[in-house]
Every structure is written in structure tokens, then in C-alpha cells.
Amino acid sequence: MDKQFSQVADRKTLEQLMERSNEQPVVLFKHSTTCPISAAAHREMSKVKPEVSIVVVQTARDVSKAVAELTGVRHESPQAFVVRNNKVAWTASHYDVTAEAVEEAVRASV
């Protein structure tokens, strides 16, 4: 896994990210290792300048479900979020996940 990505493998880490969103925008990316659309989104997310926290849906299904519960956003993959103050400031899925869109959402939520 790329150094830029910070893996979210358990619910405690996810809850810490949500708490950190009270101080700064948090970028979260749900990734499927078997989906070609998700592979394209992964390439886009690797270009994002801020840290990206990644949930690999195959190895962290409970975390993936918890993201949907905590955000109120139905699960899709690939799926990207910018979270600020424990709320989804922006989200996109599939081909709408682009580095430019994520970075613009981060700037808008500062």
C-alpha cells in the first residue's frame, strides 16, 4: 500500500478520524481491491495532497459498514468522503472520485 494512504482497519481508528474532523477536514476513501473502477479511483486518490485514510472493503467490511452508519451515506465502492465536524462535507463515488474534486472539497471545508 502507498505510504500516502493511512489504513483504517478497525472501528476505533474510524472513530478517531471522525473526532479529528472537528479540528481539520478528513479524507476517507473506501476501496475495493477487485474492482477496476476502484483501481482508477485509487490512482486518483494517490494524487491527493492531504492524507487519505483508506478502508479496503474486502478486509474491513465492518469498518465499511460503520462508515455508512456514521455518515448516513449508503455504501458504494469506490467512494470518497471529506468529513468535517463529524459530518460529511462532500462525497462522491465511482468515476466522480477525482483528485481535483477531493482537493476542492477539502479547501471548501477548511
d(CA 87, CA 90): 9
* Confidence at residue 104, expressed as pLDDT on a 0 to 100 scale: 97
Q: Domains (ranges, CATH) in the chain?
A: 5-108 (3.40.30.10)
Residues in Cβ contact with 85 at an 8 Å cutoff, skipping those fewer than 6 apart: 21, 22
Question: What is the identity of the amino acid at 45?
Answer: M
Give tens-digit pLDDT for 70-85: 999 999 999 999 999 9
Give tens-digit pLDDT for 55-65: 999 999 999 99
φ, ψ for residue 93 (rounded to 5)?
A: -140, 165
* Confidence at residue 46, expressed as pLDDT on a 0 to 100 scale: 95
Residue linked to cell 462535507: 89
- The list of the chain residues with pLDDT below 50 reads 1-3
> How many distinct helices (H) and strands (E) make up the chain?
4, 5
